[in-house]
Amino acid sequence: MRITDIIGKKRDGKELSTEEINFFTEGICSGSIYEYQASALLMAICIRGLNSRETADLTAAMARSGETIDLSEIPGIKVDKHSTGGVGDKTTLVVGPIVAACGVPVAKMSGRGLGHTGGTIDKLESIKGFRTSLSREEFIRNVKEIGIAISGQTGNLAPADKILYSLRDVTATISSIPLIASSVMSKKLASGADRIVLDVKTGSGAFMKTLEDSIELAGEMVSIGELTGKKTVAVVTDMDTPLGNCIGNALEVKEAIEVLKGNGPDDLKTVCFELAARMLELGGKGDIAACRELVEKSINNGSALKKFGELAEKQGAVYEPWDKRAMQEAIVRHPVTAPHEGYIYCMKSELVGKASMLLGAGRETKDGKLDHSAGIILYKKTGEYVKKGEIIAELHTSSRHLLPEAEAMLVQAYDISSEAPQTRPLILAYVDSSGVVRY
C-alpha cells in the first residue's frame, strides 16, 4: 500500500477503504508518511469530502492512535458533554454538577482555551488550589465516590488528531466538516464515555457561522458516534451573543455558581438546563420531560450547588468556591459606555472574546500566561435599549495599559441602531440518529 495511491484515489473522488485510512493514520504517527503527503491528502479530503463510513473510520483510527480511557469500573452509564466552543461558554461548570447530583456519573476530560474561546480547565484553575491534573486512579476514584471528576486531557489522547490539526491550520483545510467532526469525536471516543451529548454552537462567536453548517456538523458527529457504537445526540445553540454576562475565567466561575444557586442570567440557564436534561435522558433517567424536572429539582433543593462544592474540595480547592477568598479579584475595573443611543441590534461575539483575551483572560499561544481575574462583565446585550453614556460593560484586568485597545474592540463589537432587532431562540435544533428537529 502506498500513500501516493491513496492521495490519488481521493483526488479522483473515490471512496477510501478502512485499511487505507488506518494505513494513513498509522503512517502520520510513525513518521513514515511525510507532512507534505499528509497535507496533500487533507486537501483532497477538503475538496472531495468523506462519506459517513470514511469519516467514522478516520475518527476511530485517530482515537486508537494514543491512550484511551477505560471507565468500565465506574458503575452506571457514563455520559460525556462536548461544546464546539464559544464566548462565555461555562456550561460544563453548571451541567456537570447538575447531572452528577441527579445520579449520572460525570467523568469529564476537558481542555484549555486558545484564542478568544475559554477552556474549562482554565476556569477551574482560577479557584485557589483546584487541581486539574489527576492520575487515572484518582480520576476514577473521585467519580466513584462523589459522582464527578473534571481533569485536563492527557498529552497522549488522540495524537494523530494533534498532528492533523496542526497541518490543517497551515493548509487552509480547517473548514472541512468531516475533518472537524473526526477531530472532535476522536477525543470523545478516546475519553471512554458510553454516550455523548454535543453542544454545537452557531453564530458570530462560534467556529460555524451559519445554522445550516452547524446542523451539518452536528449530523456528521452524531453519525460518527452511532457508527462507532456510542449513542450520540446534539443540541445546536446560538452564539451570536455571548452566553451569560461574564467572560473571563474567575468571572465565569462566579456566574456558574450563581446559576447553581438558582440565580444568574436566563440565557445561560436555558442552555445549561437543556444540556443537562439531554445528558440525564441518555443516562437512563426517563424521558426528556422527566429529566427537565430532575434538573429543576437539583437546583431548587441545592444538591447541584452542593455537588460543585464536593468537586472543588475533592480536587484540592483551598476555600469553598463561593467564598470571596477562593478567587482573585481584578485590580483594575473600567466601565465602558454606549457611544450613542439606540437598540443593541447585534453583538460581534468574536470581538467580545478577543477583547477579553487582550485584557489577559485568554492566550494567543498554548504556552501563554493567563490573568485569571481578567475579563468582561456585560451589563447590556442584544435587544436592549441604551442611552448615550450609559454603562454597557465593565473591563477587568491587572494591567491598566491593556484597557485602551480592549475598550476600542469591545465598543466595535456593539452594533447600536434605531431599529430593534429580531430575536431567535437560544436552542435552534436537536439532532439525533433519527434526524433534525428545528425550533
The H or E element that residue 198 is part of is: strand 195-202
**Which has the closest alpha carbon to 94: 351, 274, 360?**
274
187 given a catalytic annotation: yes
**Which has the closest alpha carbon to 146: 346, 315, 26?**
315
Which residue has 447538575 as its cell numbers? Answer: 98
Q: CB neighbours (10 Å) of residue 227?
A: 17
- From the list 90, 187, 278, 380, the catalytic residue is 187
> The C-alpha cell of 389 is what?
453614556
First-last CA distance in the chain: 48
183 given a catalytic annotation: yes
- From the list 10, 112, 162, 168, the catalytic residue is 168
Q: What is 324-391 written as a DSSP string? A: GGGBPPPSEEEEEE-SS-EEEEEE-HHHHHHHHIIIIIS-SSTT----TT-EEEES--TT-EE-TT-E
> The C-alpha cell of 295 is what?
434538573
- From the list 65, 151, 183, 204, the catalytic residue is 183
82 given a catalytic annotation: yes
Q: CB neighbours (10 Å) of residue 289?
A: 9
400: left (phi over 0), alpha (psi -120 to 50) or beta: alpha
- Name the residue type at position 231: K
- From the list 57, 80, 122, 161, the catalytic residue is 161
With 0-12 / 13-18 / 19 or more C-beta atoms within 10 angstroms meaning exposed / middle / buried, residue 127 is buried
**Rounded to an integer, what distance in angstroms lies between the CA atom of residue 20 and that of residue 25?**
9
**Which has the closest alpha carbon to 79: 139, 130, 147, 145?**
147
**Rounded to an integer, what distance in angstroms lies between the CA atom of residue 337 and that of residue 386?**
9
**Rounded to an integer, what distance in angstroms lies between the CA atom of residue 229 and that of residue 193?**
11
- From the list 81, 82, 269, 285, the catalytic residue is 82
> The C-alpha cell of 30 is what?
510513525
Q: CB neighbours (10 Å) of residue 209?
A: 14
CA quadruple 127, 368, 259, 430: dihedral, nearest 10: -140
**Rounded to an integer, what distance in angstroms lies between the CA atom of residue 359 and that of residue 405?**
9
Beta bridge partners of residue 266, listed in sequence order: none
> The C-alpha cell of 160 is what?
494523530
How crowded is the C-beta side of 214, counted as CA atoms within 13 Å?
29
Active site (catalytic) residues: 82, 161, 168, 183, 187
